[in-house]
Amino acid sequence: MHLALNAEHFGDALEDPSFLAMLAALVNSGYWFFED
């Protein structure tokens, strides 16, 4: 499973510590990539 997110999906979520923790976990697990 991969998540494909772009800037439109972020917004205030980037200021949410729980979101950042989830994001870090996804990155560290390899379940993350960016689409331009």
pTM recorded for the entire structure = 0.42
What single letter denotes the amino acid at residue 35? E
Note the pLDDT of residue 5.
62
pLDDT confidence of 31, banded at 50, 70, 90?
A: low
> 13-30: per-residue pLDDT in tens?
667 788 788 888 888 887
The whole-angstrom separation of Cα 18 and Cα 28 is: 15
The whole-angstrom separation of Cα 30 and Cα 33 is: 8
**Domains in the chain: how many in total?**
1
pLDDT confidence of 10, banded at 50, 70, 90?
A: low
Note the pLDDT of residue 30.
76
Helix (H, G, I), strand (E, B) or coil at 35: coil
Structure tokens at 26: 């996804």
